[in-house]
A = this chain, B = another copy of it.
Amino acid sequence: MSDLYRFGISLDKDLIEAFDRHIKTQGYQSRSEALRDLIREELLRKTREEGGTVAGAIVMTYDHHKRELVNRLLDIQHDFHDLIISTQHVHLDHGNCLEVIAVKGSAPKIEKLATNLKVLVGVKHLNLSVTATD
């Protein structure tokens, strides 16, 4: 966290009125908060492109009946243990597991880990969701 900095901007009246209506629907309490989120998302896109440090989670579902899958998942995660903070496991139904792996590290390495897990037989869906770490 850092000091607040105040400055003025100029926008078309029509545009700011439409924006005010939009952010009120979403529940924002001020223009500053809404603009802050747009700026952070824009900077996150840049950080990922440039291979900077991010934190986030790999979210995947898999079929734990697949032969060898659970062992392969553990092997790969240990190969990247320096990126993985901890994991959370949910038994979705008889056959399917939801696993959420909290990660922190360089964006390209985390993307490599995600790809290595995604291609395994039995992994049904995998998403990587990251946020910048400032």
Contact = CB atoms under 8 A, between A and B. Distances in A.
A77 interface: no
Contacts of A125: 40-41, 44, 131-132
A60 interface: yes
Interface residues of A, number: 75
Interface in A88-112: 88, 90, 92-93, 95-96, 98, 100, 102, 104
A45 to B, nearest CB: 10
A65 interface: yes
Contact of A9 (B7, B26, B96, B100): B7
Contacts of A35: 9, 11, 35, 38-39
Interface of A: 1-16, 18-19, 22-23, 26-29, 31-44, 46, 55-57, 59-61, 63, 65, 85-86, 88, 90, 92-93, 95-96, 98, 100, 102, 104, 115-116, 118-119, 121, 124-134
Given A2-B14, A7-B31, A124-B134, 11 more contacts: A1-B95, A11-B36, A27-B119, A29-B121, A33-B119, A44-B125, A57-B129, A85-B98, A86-B88, A98-B102, A98-B131
